[in-house]
Amino acid sequence: MPGAAATATEAAQGLDIKPFDIIVAGAGVVGMATALYLQKDGHRVTVIDPRDPGMATSFGNAGGVVTAGNAPLVTGQTLKKVPGMLLDPENALRISWRYLPQLAPWLLRLALSARAERVEAASKALASLNALAEPAWWELSRLSGVEDLLKPRGWLKVFGTKAGFDDNAAEREMLARRGAKVDVLNRDELRQLEPNMAPIFHGAVFFPDCLALVNPFRAVDGFAAEFQRRGGVILKETVTAIEPGTDACQVVSDSGSRSADRVVLAAGAWSKGFARQLGLKPPLETERGYHLMLPAPEKNLNRPVLNMDKSFCLCPMETGVRLTSGDELAGLAAPPDYTPIRRILPLAKNMLPSLDLDEQSAWMGYRPSMPDSLPAIGPAPRDPRVFFAFGHGHYGMTQGPATGRVIADMIAGRDPGFLADSFSPNRA
């Protein structure tokens, strides 16, 4: 729990760190965590975002701090399932055929990333970053007074068939190689863990060391409040350009231009255009995810439960039960389509019979995803004063505070303590 090892920031207290004027573009979990860690190092930090902190992708996710998530999104095994998933109207994966010409290069790189040697390398890299996640989450949540939102409940995956369960064996073995604690549960053991869930599953995999956030937005909002309490500035503006200069970088917004000694680009799915201004064409795409908020039943789940057969998750939250689903590849401009996630409601009811299907709200967000499942973390190719921190895909909530700590370490010249080269923005 909570008594995690001291972070590099704590260990470096008392060292001589030159304070900079730093602008962070993006006020999601990655941006706000980065701003807090930079502020702890004595830098003067300004955060710029057109939305309030935590109101974009950080708002509506499943709330998992999945420190065992050391498997890339796509492997050779999962790639074989894609055609069947696309033909299944109840499955989360969807591709907009109108968007396919723009998407094709990313899909090709995704397929290349599924080769066995690349999957293993990506898994090792993810494990090095995820190892920093829990200590960073506890540090920032305590600092911000939102540690009550972090629950040591674990992460549970359930399988309706023996075939599906057996098919997951390769992933379990890979996660175990990375040191994750993996408990395999039979029907009876699953029933003891989740007595209110229908006894319809063949078995489950439980990751007991993972954490659950019962209100992801309130966590990021807490980070922002603490950042401002300590003198940080948050500007609700739209950044239009990041321009290298001789003496300083210029960050241009719809309200004017500001100089900064260092800039951190943490704008999630909106980062691609800015990266191109700085000499990099990142293979960044948008995986659109959806949620429906439902009332909390009296007989609820004890933790987030991921239905592996249909790729949806039921998450007990502070404000009800969140049904999350959707891996829609349609870019940033297309309007949301809530029809597919609403088709899942009967499946969710079948899984948790006490579930009330009275929809309270619906939401769509944009996961910023790289083909190899590794975010871009590090200095820009053309200007080392600009640092990239985007592309976390399905693990943005998990890796946000760890990324913030790593960026602060890099700017201070400290060893960030993870496989930094694997996350280089300039990697092939």
Each residue's pLDDT tens digit, 213-232: 999 999 999 999 999 999 99
Residue 352: CB atoms within 10 Å? 22
Comparing CA positions, the residue from 390, 315, 361 lying closest to residue 149 is 315
Q: Where are the domains of the chain?
A: 14-75+114-150+211-284+370-428
Provide the phi-psi class of 355: left if phi over 0, else alpha when psi is between -120 and 50, else beta: beta
Can you tell me the distance from the alpha carbon of 406 to that of 411, in angstroms, rounded to the nearest whole number? 9
Concatenated DSSP letters for 38-106? Answer: HHHTT-EEEEE-SS-TT-STTTSS--EE-TT--S-S--HHHHTTHHHHHH-TTSSEEE-GGGHHHHHHH
Can you tell me the distance from the alpha carbon of 368 to that of 164, in angstroms, rounded to the nearest whole number? 28
Residue 76: CB atoms within 10 Å? 13
Bridging pattern class, strands 211-213 and 239-243: unpaired
Please tell me the predicted confidence (pLDDT) of residue 81. 81
Which tokens in the block code for residue 228? 């401002």
Work out the pLDDT band at 89, boundaries 50, 70, 90.
confident
Work out the pLDDT band at 7, boundaries 50, 70, 90.
very low
Fold of 14-75+114-150+211-284+370-428: FAD/NAD(P)-binding domain (3.50.50)
Any idea which residue has 């940080």 for tokens? Answer: 232
Q: Reply yes or no on whether the pLDDT at 150 is more than 70.
A: yes
Q: Reply yes or no on whether the pLDDT at 90 is more than 90.
A: no
Work out the pLDDT band at 8, boundaries 50, 70, 90.
very low
Please tell me the predicted confidence (pLDDT) of residue 413. 96
Q: Reply yes or no on whether the pLDDT at 9 is more than 50.
A: no
Work out the pLDDT band at 15, boundaries 50, 70, 90.
low
Half-sphere exposure of 51 (CA within 13 A, CB side): 19
| Residue 184, φ and ψ in degrees, nearest 5 | -90, 125
Q: What does pLDDT average to over the chain?
A: 93
Any idea which residue has 């200069």 for tokens? Answer: 245
Each residue's pLDDT tens digit, 341-365: 999 999 999 999 999 999 999 999 9
Residue 117: CB atoms within 10 Å? 7
**Is the CA virtual torsion 412, 418, 423, 424 positive or negative?**
positive
> What's the whole-number mean pLDDT along residues 138-144?
98
| Residue 415 one-letter amino acid | D
Residues 6+ apart with CB under 8 A from 254: 237, 238, 240
> What's the whole-number mean pLDDT along residues 258-273?
97
Can you tell me the distance from the alpha carbon of 340 to that of 325, in angstroms, rounded to the nearest whole number? 9
| 134 vs 3, residue with greater confidence | 134
Q: Reply yes or no on whether the pLDDT at 11 is more than 80.
A: no
Please tell me the predicted confidence (pLDDT) of residue 17. 84
